[in-house]
């Protein structure tokens, strides 16, 4: 093991070489680390002190590769807004698979590190702002206990990146259980032939679902599909429960591990509106908040298509098995979402009228334009009268039904409120606060708000934070669009 603590075991390179291309990062002359995740480094078994030295900076810049590193860009495809494209890591290099002290395996990737063979006409670089956005949002998601890729470091390159304007460049060091995507399987089958589905499926099973390896072949691959469906149903329900909108749910942005990946034009809702869209490129609302479960199932159908030959030699039988598996998604998602909504309202004992009660509240919140996060947090604190939804017609009757439900449970009302406080965050990455942090860093080199915001978001259920982090934006602060940064 080297001075930095890297303990690489790079299994992806054992796959056929059409799944990746050997790549190195493009050298930068003036790198500077502006964010470093010491707790994550320690979890990975890395030497945080060494990584914050000048030699560590060279690694985050891609100027030097640590001992045992690899340096590959992965090939993948993806349905982007419904249309299939051949893609790949056009601005990212996977430097290795780190084996952490607990035995878990993590990809470590440099994002924004320069051109690769998949860059097409792109420069392979990234402006600093979207790299900082990914750091903020991914670490906030982790604090909310939502499966996600993580951010180890952000570095400025000291070089300009040309988009509409010339912007400061940045590189993110991203950590993931793997970067295997639905789009990786689409590439394997569409570009390299159906035989590659088995090679990639066996690798993914070994890495993420080893308990399936002893099963007979046809059962093993069908259960592989079912496991990915299970994880994605749970993941998307968690997004919906906190008001998170991914923004670009293309099939290349859906992982086999069930982690949230690629924080481009993502955002958290302020006012509750199921039709909310933030992404500047989603002009038809394909990836609106309310559409995320359906898009998740659509992406999983594309995944199932790549595995059909592994389910049965008979095409009709294979299709039938895939359809049966996919038909589970809706009920799985609803079960996860309903369970989560019960917790948000302190409902511990299940009854048949719970869903109607929840739907009634959400309808009133939409009518009132209630802030999604603040409404549930105030309810958790017994301050429902301070919410805007309390002013809607019918709320008094609804509140009486809700209070009666809490009072007739076998557990105490106090227990119900404690449950609510444990799942309804006091703070989220408010869009206007994120934009402020990014603008100050990008235009003025001031990272103080970025640092403060990350510290606050690491304790999302703490009510002691300053009101500026808890309150919805003023009318003049509302962010209506977010941007990819590619």
**What are the tens digits of pLDDT across the range 98-150?**
999 999 999 999 999 989 999 887 888 999 999 999 999 999 999 999 999 99
Residues 166 and 295 in one domain: no
Which of 154, 176, 198 is the last residue in one of the domains? 176
Give the span between the Cα atoms of 84 and 238, in whole angstroms. 27
Q: How many domains does the chain have?
A: 2
Q: Are 376 and 351 in contact (CB under 8 A)?
A: no
Q: For residue 45, is it within any domain? A: yes
Q: For residue 467, is it within any domain? A: no
Residues 194 and 172 in one domain: no
> Strand, helix or coil at 235?
helix
Give me the helix-helix angle, 328-344 and 413-423, nearest 10°. Answer: 120
> Strand, helix or coil at 259?
coil
Return the closest-CA partner of residue 28 out of 166, 107, 124.
124
What are the tens digits of pLDDT across the range 30-64? 999 999 999 999 999 999 999 999 999 999 999 99
Return the closest-CA partner of residue 34 out of 114, 148, 123, 151.
151
Give me the helix-helix angle, 328-344 and 292-311, nearest 10°. Answer: 140
What are the tens digits of pLDDT across the range 327-345? 999 999 999 999 999 999 9
Hey, which residues are catalytic here? 252
Q: For residue 191, is it within any domain? A: yes
Q: For residue 443, is it within any domain? A: no
Q: Are 14 and 69 in contact (CB under 8 A)?
A: no
Across all residues in the chain, what is the average pLDDT?
A: 95
Residues 123 and 271 in one domain: no
Give the per-residue pLDDT at 229: 98
In percent, how much of the chain has pLDDT > 70? 99
Kindly indicate the confidence band of residue 486, based on its pLDDT and cuts at 50, 70 and 90: low
Which of 126, 151, 176 is the last residue in one of the domains? 176
DSSP alpha helix (H) spans, 312-394: 315-326, 328-344, 354-368, 372-380
Residues 41 and 64 in one domain: yes
Beta bridge partners of 86: 77
Residues 109 and 236 in one domain: no
Q: For residue 60, is it within any domain? A: yes
Residues 272 and 325 in one domain: yes
Q: Give the domain extent around 76.
A: 12-176
Q: For residue 458, is it within any domain? A: no
> Strand, helix or coil at 170?
strand
Name the token pair of 187: 């590439």
Residues 172 and 279 in one domain: no
Give the span between the Cα atoms of 122 and 357, in whole angstroms. 50
Which of 122, 148, 176 is the last residue in one of the domains? 176
Residues 317 and 198 in one domain: yes
Q: Are 71 and 59 in contact (CB under 8 A)?
A: no
What are the tens digits of pLDDT across the range 171-205? 999 999 999 999 999 999 988 888 999 999 999 99
Residues 73 and 172 in one domain: yes
Q: What are phi and psi of 474, to 5 degrees?
A: -70, 165
Residues 132 and 149 in one domain: yes
Cα 201 to chain center, whole Å? 22
Give me the helix-helix angle, 431-444 and 128-143, nearest 10°. Answer: 140
15, 31, 55, 114 from 61: Cα distances, Å: 27, 6, 10, 10
Q: For residue 366, is it within any domain? A: no
What are the tens digits of pLDDT across the range 3-14? 999 999 999 999
Q: Please give the angle made by the CA atoms of 391, 243 and 257, to the nearest 5 degrees.
A: 160
Mean pLDDT across 350-379: 97
> Strand, helix or coil at 399?
helix
Return the closest-CA partner of residue 263 out of 364, 150, 125.
150
pTM of the model: 0.96
């Amino acid at each position: 093991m080297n001075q930095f603590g890297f303990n690489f075991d790079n299994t992806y390179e054992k796959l056929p070489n059409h799944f990746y291309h050997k790549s190195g990062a493009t050298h930068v002359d003036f790198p500077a680390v502006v964010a470093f995740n010491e707790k994550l480094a320690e979890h990975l078994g890395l030497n945080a002190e060494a990584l914050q030295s000048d030699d560590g900076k060279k690694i985050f810049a891609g100027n030097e590769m640590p001992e045992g590193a690899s340096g590959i860009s992965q090939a993948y495809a993806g349905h982007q807004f419904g249309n299939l494209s051949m893609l790949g890591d056009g601005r990212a290099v996977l430097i290795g698979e780190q084996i952490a002290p607990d035995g878990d395996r993590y990809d470590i990737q440099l994002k924004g590190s320069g051109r690769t063979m998949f860059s097409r006409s792109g420069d392979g670089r990234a402006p600093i702002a979207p790299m900082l956005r990914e750091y903020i949002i991914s670490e906030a998601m982790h604090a909310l206990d939502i499966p996600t890729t993580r951010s180890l470091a952000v570095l400025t390159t000291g070089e300009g990146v040309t988009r509409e304007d010339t912007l400061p460049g940045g590189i993110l060091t991203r950590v993931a259980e793997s970067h295997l995507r639905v789009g990786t399987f689409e590439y394997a089958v569409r570009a390299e032939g159906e035989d590659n589905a088995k090679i990639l499926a066996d690798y993914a099973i070994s890495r993420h679902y080893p308990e399936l390896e002893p099963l007979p072949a046809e059962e093993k691959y069908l259960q592989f599909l079912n496991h990915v469906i299970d994880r994605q149903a749970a993941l998307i329900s968690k997004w919906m429960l906190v008001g998170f909108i991914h923004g670009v749910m293309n099939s290349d942005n859906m992982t086999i591990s069930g982690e949230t990946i690629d924080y481009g034009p993502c955002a958290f809702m302020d006012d509750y509106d199921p039709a909310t869209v933030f992404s500047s490129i989603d002009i038809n609302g394909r990836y609106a908040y309310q559409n995320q479960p359906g898009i998740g199932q659509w992406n999983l159908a594309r995944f199932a298509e790549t595995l059909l030959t592994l389910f049965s030699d008979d095409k009709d039988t294979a299709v039938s098995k895939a359809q049966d598996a996919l038909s589970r998604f809706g009920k799985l998602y609803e079960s996860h979402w309903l369970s989560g909504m019960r917790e948000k309202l302190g409902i511990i004992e299940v009854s048949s009228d719970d869903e109607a009660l929840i739907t009634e509240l959400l309808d009133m919140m939409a009518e009132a334009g209630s802030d999604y996060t603040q409404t549930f947090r105030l309810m958790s604190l017994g301050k429902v009268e301070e919410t805007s939804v309390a002013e809607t017609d019918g709320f008094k009757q609804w509140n009486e039904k809700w209070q009666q439900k809490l009072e007739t449970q076998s557990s105490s009302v106090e227990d119900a409120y404690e449950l609510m406080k444990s799942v309804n965050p006091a703070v989220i990455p408010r869009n206007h606060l994120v934009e402020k942090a990014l603008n100050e860093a990008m235009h003025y080199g001031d990272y103080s708000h970025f640092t403060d915001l990350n510290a606050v978001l690491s304790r999302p259920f703490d009510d002691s934070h300053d009101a500026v982090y808890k309150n919805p934006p003023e009318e003049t602060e509302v962010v209506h669009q977010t941007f990819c940064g590619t």
